[in-house]
Structure 1
């Protein structure tokens, strides 16, 4: 099961304005039988489990039909359906897609229903950070979060033992992490002690906010959905400086390192520490690495801080029956994951009452460090977003490639952070 999709918005961005300005099919609520269509980005195995779970949905006037999507082609199909105004009633979407489509008037706003609804299916039963990040600047919600992505550091317990290091635990520091990476580098067939794509990729500055915010400083941006500024204060700069030193020493893999095979290398004992998400647990559970491994929260300076991220389910504004679609949306969030996650525990549901099956599956599989870390992440008060969800996010990525990554590689001085931030703030001003 894929729990995040990056690039869907970019594939669709050119269609947004044109689609929003065109006419639309009439929405409203139908009195007769209604077919509610659902499109996912899941694997055939997971889709089969979803189909089985959806068979349990009982309503004489509502038929649920899942639409197949070609593997690896979800973004392209979403773009073409958006242009043709034939989006299914419910479709898997990233936070960036939801924000941009909602701001263009392409999606049904569920904010009032989820806030004022009856029963347990209400806003306060969802993970707060997910609900907040799915709201537009106007408080609209063109979809609902469905699964959370939590993040931390995967570590090879055998490698730590081999060099005489205690296994990392919640509350460890950034200095602890870099020191361990230095001792683990060039040992046991590993080149680097730490592969941290989240710290060196185009989204890296957002992850560096963890250091700054934990130290009492400012995040890289005040809001990923509708930012008013980017900032690299003293604590942020301090964190970047320490990462630059760790990369220069060979302890941490540099920007440009191909992290695509990093999970496999980790399983094979060739990467001692790996920044990553909880979704890797499902793969490790299936592949059964020969190493002893664990998952630990991100390091901190003073206060626990983590990334927040979620994927969800959206609905086009021309859905035939909002009532019927919402009933199926509720069923997906409250019942379907109970059937899917035990076999493939990739992510905790954003709807908290549905999380039990996820944690039970991990506990049964002996993934206790994953359970502890995911629960700690979900309970962490200080959180930062993983990337801009704006239409001009790709331009920030270009600036990151031109300025931030060369700083990490030592090709530009750390002082160039201010030039980088200034250029981002220019983009924010231009976007108005």
Structure 2
């Protein structure tokens, strides 16, 4: 579960498909015997789908048949777009917060708000509070149910820190300590002391908001769902200046650095710090790193501040049996992850009662720093989304790409941060 549009593949290997795999088709209908058929489409790898199938085999309702649609996880976005255009979306499909917000505002999804409004075991209060807040549209609709949550922090090589004479990161460590550690690690021979594409790439302006918010400044935007403005204040600029200085010195990998193999390089001891998400833990349990490692929370400049990012499960507005679909949806969120995550703890469930399976797996594997960091990030009240979820988000992404990398590398002056936000505000204004 790496981004709002993708979940990390291959949670685990499990044998035997226990559900029927269906060809691509329309939303649920009634079979000749009168039973409701609920179709499900994921973006998972074949191994993960087998694990989900095995877990779904425990769903028992004589009047409901579940069919999963095969979808190559590398081509999910294209298939989703095609099914949306053809109005043949399955009853339940994996979705990011951005897709849920956009599709709900267009009336393409079933609104589950009324079913989640109660105080039962699957009401809004049964989920991490920030998820329901972020999955509601401006008019209070909820077009999908949050499923798994990403948390972010810094993976660190314990041995590299000890060799450099640096204290390992702990909860409450500061941005200045992170930048200083990156510099010392670089001076000790690391090509880069820190690799952090979340800061140097397209999502960088949102990630740097955690510095500004923590230091008492303004975030990059007042909302990722219904923004009214983008802002770069003095505190925010200070954070960008420190990041740019780290890049200039060679302590931090520059924009454009190839991060496709950063996980393996970190595991081999070639990168001492990586800003990334908790999903790396599942891979480390399968492919044992040669190093001793830990996972620290996002650093602070004052009060704690973090990033919000969750994926979920959506339902088209034309589903033919909402009752049956909601039953399967509830089982997926409340039960399936409790059976899948123990073998590969890739992310914490948004459904609170399912979290014990995730944290229990981390504890069993001895990943205490991962467990403590994920818990602390989930409980941090001050947060910002990792990117705009609006239909016009690609326009702002183009502007960020045009300015952000050059500013960080000194090719454009820091004052161009104001130019960038000015153009972004023009986009926001034109789409309000």
User: Do they superpose with TM above 0.5?
Assistant: yes
Question: Structure 2: how far apart are the matches of 1:304 and 1:29?
Answer: 51
TM-fit CA distance, 1:277: 0.4
Question: Structure 2: how far apart are the matches of 1:385 and 1:97?
Answer: 14
CA contact (8 A) 1:88 1:316 kept: yes
One of 87, 90, 93 as aligned partner of 2:92 = 90
- DSSP-derived class of the 1:112 partner: coil
Question: Structure 2: how far apart are the matches of 1:208 and 1:249?
Answer: 19
CA contact (8 A) 2:153 2:275 kept: yes
Give the structure-1-normalised TM-score. Answer: 0.93
Question: Structure 1: how far apart are the matches of 2:276 and 2:128?
Answer: 20
Question: Structure 2: how far apart are the matches of 1:400 and 1:254?
Answer: 15
CA contact (8 A) 2:201 2:405 kept: yes
Question: Structure 2: how far apart are the matches of 1:4 and 1:422?
Answer: 26
What does 1:101-120 align with in structure 2 at a 5 Å threshold? 101-116=103-118, 119-120=120-121
Question: Structure 2: how far apart are the matches of 1:28 and 1:121?
Answer: 25
Find runs of 4+ consecutive structure 1 residues off by over 2 angstroms: 1-4, 25-32
TM-fit CA distance, 1:124: 0.8
TM-fit CA distance, 1:26: 10
Give the aligned partner of residue 157 of structure 1: 158
Give the structure-2-normalised TM-score. Answer: 0.93
Give the aligned partner of residue 305 of structure 2: 305
Distance of aligned partners of 1:71 and 1:309 in 2 relative to their CA distance in 1, 3 Å threshold: closer
CA contact (8 A) 2:28 2:91 kept: no
TM-fit CA distance, 1:123: 0.3
CA contact (8 A) 1:186 1:192 kept: no
In structure 1, list runs of 5 or more residues that go unmatched.
Answer: 8-24
Question: Structure 2: how far apart are the matches of 1:26 and 1:208?
Answer: 41
CA contact (8 A) 1:3 1:347 kept: no
CA contact (8 A) 2:128 2:351 kept: yes
- What's the CA shift string for 1:190-228, capped at 9, x where partnerless? 300000011000110000000000011111001101100
Give the aligned partner of residue 198 of structure 1: 198
Give the aligned partner of residue 65 of structure 2: 63
TM-fit CA distance, 1:4: 3.7
Distance of aligned partners of 1:234 and 1:29 in 2 relative to their CA distance in 1, 3 Å threshold: farther
Give the aligned partner of residue 423 of structure 1: 423
Indicate whether 1:73 and 2:38 are aligned: no
What does 1:200-349 align with in structure 2 at a 5 Å threshold? 200-349=200-349
- DSSP-derived class of the 1:257 partner: coil
Question: Structure 1: how far apart are the matches of 2:243 and 2:94?
Answer: 35
Distance of aligned partners of 1:154 and 1:238 in 2 relative to their CA distance in 1, 3 Å threshold: same
TM-fit CA distance, 1:187: 3.4
CA contact (8 A) 1:29 1:323 kept: no
Indicate whether 1:53 and 2:55 are aligned: yes
- DSSP-derived class of the 1:355 partner: helix
Q: How many residues align structurally? A: 413
CA contact (8 A) 2:195 2:274 kept: yes
Indicate whether 1:130 and 2:131 are aligned: yes
Give the aligned partner of residue 180 of structure 2: 179
Indicate whether 1:400 and 2:400 are aligned: yes
- What's the CA shift string for 1:120-164, capped at 9, x where partnerless? 111011011111111111111110100000000000001000111
- What's the CA shift string for 1:312-351, capped at 9, x where partnerless? 0000011011111001000001000011001111000000
TM-fit CA distance, 1:186: 5.0
Give the aligned partner of residue 382 of structure 1: 382
Question: Structure 2: how far apart are the matches of 1:44 and 1:154?
Answer: 28
Distance of aligned partners of 1:251 and 1:221 in 2 relative to their CA distance in 1, 3 Å threshold: same
Question: Structure 1: how far apart are the matches of 2:192 and 2:5?
Answer: 27
TM-fit CA distance, 1:382: 0.7
Question: Structure 1: how far apart are the matches of 2:91 and 2:165?
Answer: 55
In structure 2, list runs of 5 or more residues that go unmatched.
Answer: 8-25
Question: Structure 2: how far apart are the matches of 1:416 and 1:102?
Answer: 35
Give the aligned partner of residue 10 of structure 1: none
CA contact (8 A) 1:3 1:279 kept: no
Question: Structure 2: how far apart are the matches of 1:36 and 1:173?
Answer: 49
Question: Structure 2: how far apart are the matches of 1:194 and 1:366?
Answer: 25
- DSSP-derived class of the 2:299 partner: coil
**Two-structure CA RMSD over aligned residues (Å):** 1.8
Give the aligned partner of residue 365 of structure 1: 365
TM-fit CA distance, 1:27: 9.2
Question: Structure 1: how far apart are the matches of 2:301 and 2:385?
Answer: 18
- DSSP-derived class of the 2:208 partner: helix
Question: Structure 2: how far apart are the matches of 1:28 and 1:84?
Answer: 17
